Amino acid sequence: MAGKLRYMDSRPDEQQRDSDSDAKNHLINVIDSPGHVDFFGEVSTALRICDGCIIIVDVIEGVCAQTRAALQQAWLARVRPILVLNKIDRLFVEKKLSPLDIHIQLTQTLEQVNAFIGELFASEVLAKMNATLDEQQKSDEKRQQATTEKQMSKKQIFYDWSSGLDDIDDSGVYFSPENGNVLFASAIDGWGFTIADFAQILSTKLGFSVNALTKTLWGDYYLNVREKRIQKGAQSKAKKPLFVTFVLENLSKIYEKFLIKHDKFEMIKMAQSLDITLETRDIDRTDHRQTLMQLFNQWIPLSRSLLRIVCDIVPAPCDINEERVERFITGNQTRRFDSLPLQTQLLKRAFLECRPRKSSDDNDNHM
Ligand SMILES: Nc1nc2c(ncn2[C@@H]2O[C@H](COP(=O)(O)OP(=O)(O)OP(=O)(O)O)[C@@H](O)[C@H]2O)c(=O)[nH]1
Ligand SMILES: [Mg+2]
């Protein structure tokens, strides 16, 4: 609610908008965790009982110590993360950046987050390889002592490590707007969207498929107006990327017309171009930000996109993967799962089946 005690979907027409007849039902429990590093115990406790997490980054502050700590905790707990790039309004209103500069800022924030994920991934892979190599080396040494062969050189081990890293597909571990695990937002103004949300909005307007737009709306693509085609290489050809032309320029215009100029005629025209009808009482508000929020709430409401991304990305509890269950039982990596007593190992199946613990299990439980 970003500090406001106001229920946004209070009007019948707004409530109607979201009552999709073929919508599936979802039950979602949300735990809010404190951001301050002093309370990190609470974050790791929360992560152990969650199937996904929403990591919110302030696009002005960028990646801070708390962000890194939260990302690391989520990584270790093997919880499926969603990244929210929040406070984008500040780039328009306070920083007064151009859409092109905002695009750069968002790209850089995303890169900062992914660079840290890359570090987590690499250090884990190296630690695993190190452990395997240690075991290999030990058995090699035994053999070598027997056969008096030369010892494996350090150089060779190093080469093996890095070549191993290259071989591993790490593409699934990063945040990427085109793959749907990133949400762009301004919580204070009540708007938010994923690339797929915007592709949906633009598809009929531009005459491209939702699929094609989802793949190209974030990347280095531009619209070749003459040929009516989406083409790669916006940067090298000094063209505006699609995200700038069709997303950020629209948002920029809205902020300008609603907050800076506040011209009624312009506001109505803008709303109409987005297929939104603003009521007179909304347009006449003295608090311009409230009018702006009414527009956003009908156009790209944060609640809708946030719930959708959670449903898309976060697995259902019964879809928990084996590795995560093993981590629950071993307490991360302090013990090997297969070194645990058999009865304890059998708990894994109960976890995978989401089977509640029965009182008759008591006799079997050797944890
Ligand atoms: N401009 C702007 N301010 C925001 C936005 N979202 C939150 N804020 C402000 O940022 C401040 C912190 O918001 P909180 O919701 O308390 O953030 P938090 O991450 O829960 O903070 P902790 O619980 O202390 O970790 C408040 O003053 C909010 O009004 C946004 O999208 N834009
Ligand atoms: Mg909070």
- The rounded distance, in Å, linking the Cα atoms of 20 and 281 is 27
Q: What are residue 299's phi and psi, to 5 degrees?
A: -90, -60
pLDDT at 173 over 70: yes
Instruction: Looking at the CA of 38, name the nearest ligand.
Output: 1
Side-chain half-sphere exposure of 225, counting CA atoms within 13 A: 4
Within a domain: residue 190? no
Residue 120 has pLDDT above 60, yes or no: yes
Nearest CA to ligand 1 atom 2: 87
Pocket probe for ligand 1: among 57, 84, 188, 296, the residue whose CB has the most ligand atoms within 8 Å is 188
Asked, for residue 350, whether it belongs to a domain, the answer is yes
Residue 332 domain flag: yes
Predicted local distance difference test score (pLDDT) of residue 321: 83
Q: Does 341 fall in a domain?
A: yes
Ligand 2 geometric centre to CA of 33 (Å): 7
Nearest CA to ligand 1 atom 32: 87
Atom 11 of ligand 1, residue of closest alpha carbon: 2
Ligand 1 lined by 93 (C-beta under 6 Å): no
8 pLDDT above the threshold of 70: no
Distance 2 CA to ligand 1 centre (A): 6
By the 8 A CB rule, do 43 and 32 touch?
Answer: no
Q: Is residue 99 part of a domain?
A: no
Domain housing 336: 322-364
User: For position 77, what pLDDT does the model report?
Assistant: 84
Q: Would you say residue 360 lies in a domain?
A: yes
Q: What is the pLDDT of residues 191-217, one digit of tens each?
A: 999 999 999 999 999 999 999 999 999
38 lines ligand 1 (CB under 6 A): no
E strand spans, 168-319: 182-186, 191-193, 221-224, 229-232
32 pLDDT band, cuts 50/70/90, is: very high
Which residue, among 25, 160, 64, has the nearest Cα to 55 in the 3D structure?
A: 64
Instruction: Determine the pLDDT at residue 159.
Output: 35
Task: Give me the residues paired with residue 55 across strands.
Answer: 83
Domains held by the chain: number? 1
pLDDT tens-digit series, residues 219-257 = 999 999 999 999 999 999 999 999 999 999 999 999 999
Two structure tokens written together for 196: 């797929």
Evaluate whether residue 345 is within a structural domain. yes
Higher pLDDT, 150 or 56: 56
Give domain status of residue 32, yes or no.
Answer: no
The residues near 217 (Cβ < 8 Å, ≥ 6 apart) are 177, 178, 195, 198, 199, 202, 242, 243, 246, 247
What values do phi and psi take at 54, rounded to 5?
Answer: -110, 115
